[in-house]
A and B are shown apart, each in its own frame.
Chain A
Amino acid sequence: MDLFLQTLLNGLLIGGVIATFTIAFQLTFGVLHVIDFAVGGWVVLGGYLGYYMAAGLGVDGFLAIPAAFFLFGAIGYLIGPILYNVRNSRTARPELMALALTFGLFTLLRGGMLTAWGFNTRNVPTALSGESLALGPVTVPMIRVAAAVFAIVIAGGLFLFLYRTRYGLAIRATAENRQNAALMGVNIRRLSANVYGLYAGITAMAGVLMGAVYSVNPEIGLRYTLFAFFVAVLAGLGSVGGALVAALLLGVIEAYVSTYVGSSYSLLAIFATLFLVLLISPKGILRRGL
Chain B
Amino acid sequence: MTTQPVKSRLPGLLLLAAVLVLLALMPLMVNNYWLRIATGALMWAGLACSWNILGGYAGYINFGHSAFFGLGAYVTAFLMNDPFGLPFLVTVPAGMLVTAVFAVIIGAPTLRLRGAYFAIATWAFAEVLIQFASAMDFTGGIGGIGLPPYLNERFFYFAMLGAAALTYLLTWLLFERSRFGLKVKALRDHEPAAEAMGINTALVKLQTFVLSAVTASVFGAIFAYWVTFINPKSVFGGDITDQMVVMVLLGGLGSLWGPAIGGVALFVVNRLMWMYWGDTAFYIALLGAAIVLVVLFLPNGIAGLFSGRRSNALEKAAGKLVGRVDEGERP
Contacts and interface: CB of A to CB of B under 8 A. Distances in A.
Interface of A: 35, 37, 82, 86, 89-97, 99-101, 103-112, 114-115, 118, 177-179, 222, 226, 229-230, 232-233, 237, 264-265, 267-268, 270-271, 274-275, 278-279, 282, 290
A239 B327 CA distance: 21
B299 A97 contact: yes
Contact of B249 (A100, A237, A282): A100
Interface residues of B, number: 60
A118 B242 CA distance: 20
Contacts of B103: none
Contacts of A264: 131, 134-135
B192 interface: no
B295 interface: yes
Contacts of A82: 296
Given A99-B61, A99-B119, A267-B127, A104 B289 contact: yes
Contacts of B115: 95-96, 99
B288 A99 contact: no
Given A104-B289, A111-B286, A265-B131, 20 more contacts: A86-B295, A89-B299, A96-B55, A96-B61, A96-B115, A96-B253, A99-B119, A104-B288, A105-B292, A110-B285, A111-B282, A111-B287, A112-B288, A226-B124, A229-B120, A237-B114, A264-B131, A268-B131, A278-B121, A282-B113
Contact of B283 (A86, A96, A100, A111): A111
Contacts of B281: 111, 114-115, 118
B7 interface: no
Given A179-B327, A233-B120, A101 B291 contact: yes
Nearest to B238: A222
B314 to A, nearest CB: 10
Interface string B227-258: 00000000000100010011001000100000
Contacts of B124: 226, 229-230, 270-271, 274
Given A107-B284, A229-B124, A232-B120, A178 B63 contact: no
B192 to A, nearest CB: 14
B120 A100 contact: no
Contacts of B127: 222, 226, 267, 271
Interface in B273-331: 279, 281-292, 294-296, 299-300, 315-316, 318-320, 322-323, 327, 330-331
25 contacts: A35-B119, A82-B296, A86-B296, A90-B316, A93-B188, A94-B323, A103-B245, A104-B290, A104-B295, A108-B285, A108-B292, A110-B288, A111-B283, A111-B284, A111-B285, A111-B288, A115-B281, A222-B127, A233-B117, A237-B116, A265-B131, A265-B135, A271-B127, A271-B128, A275-B121
A104 B322 contact: no
Given A35-B120, A111-B284, A104 B128 contact: no
B50 interface: no
Q: Is the interface of A mostly helix, strand, loop or mixed?
A: helix
A93 B131 CA distance: 33
B176 interface: no
Nearest to A100: B295
Closest CB pairs A-B (n = 3): A104-B291, A108-B288, A111-B285
Interface string B79-121: 0000000000000000000000000000001101111110111
B59 interface: yes
Contacts of B315: 92
Contacts, number: 151
A35 B63 CA distance: 13
A74 B135 CA distance: 41
B288 A92 contact: no
Contact of B189 (A92, A94, A233): A92
B326 to A, nearest CB: 10
A274 B119 contact: no
A84 B219 CA distance: 37
B121 A274 contact: yes
B135 A99 contact: no
Nearest to A278: B109
B34 interface: no
B155 interface: no
A233 B119 CA distance: 12
A25 B315 CA distance: 32
B288 A105 contact: yes
Nearest to A279: B109
B72 to A, nearest CB: 21
B150 interface: no
Nearest to B55: A96
B69 interface: no
A109 B286 CA distance: 10
A226 B110 CA distance: 16
